[in-house]
Amino acid sequence: PVLLVPLALLARRRRGRRTPPLRLLVVAGSGGHTTEILRLLSCLSESYSPRHYILADSDKMSEAKIRSFEQKRAETFSNSQFTLDRIPRSREVRQSWTSSVVTTLYSILYSLPLTYKLKPDLILCNGPGTCVPVCISALLLGLLGLKRAIIVYVESICRVETLSLSGKILYYFSDYFIVQWPDLKEKYPKSVYLGRIV
CATH number, domain at 140?
3.40.50.2000
Residue 7 lies in a domain: no
Number of domains in the chain: 1
Q: What's the length of the chain?
A: 198
Confidence of residue 17 (pLDDT cuts 50, 70, 90): low
Evaluate if residue 1 carries a pLDDT over 50. no
Residue 2: what pLDDT? 42
Confidence of residue 139 (pLDDT cuts 50, 70, 90): very high
* Long-range Cβ contact pairs of 160-167 (< 8 A, separation 24 or more): 160/184, 161/187, 163/188, 164/127, 165/129, 166/125, 166/127, 166/128, 166/129, 166/131, 166/132, 167/127
Residue 198 lies in a domain: no
* Average pLDDT rounded to a whole number, residues 124-151: 92
Confidence of residue 156 (pLDDT cuts 50, 70, 90): confident
* Average pLDDT rounded to a whole number, residues 145-164: 91
Q: What residues are paired with 98 via a beta bridge?
A: none
Residue 2 lies in a domain: no
Residue 12 lies in a domain: no
* Average pLDDT rounded to a whole number, residues 90-94: 70
Evaluate if residue 108 carries a pLDDT over 70. yes
Question: Would you call 150 helix, strand, or coil by DSSP?
Answer: strand
Higher per-residue pLDDT: 31 or 177: 177
- Domain that includes residue 122, residue range: 21-193
Q: What residues are paired with 123 via a beta bridge?
A: 25, 151
Residue 112 lies in a domain: yes
Residue 20: what pLDDT? 72
Evaluate if residue 5 carries a pLDDT over 90. no
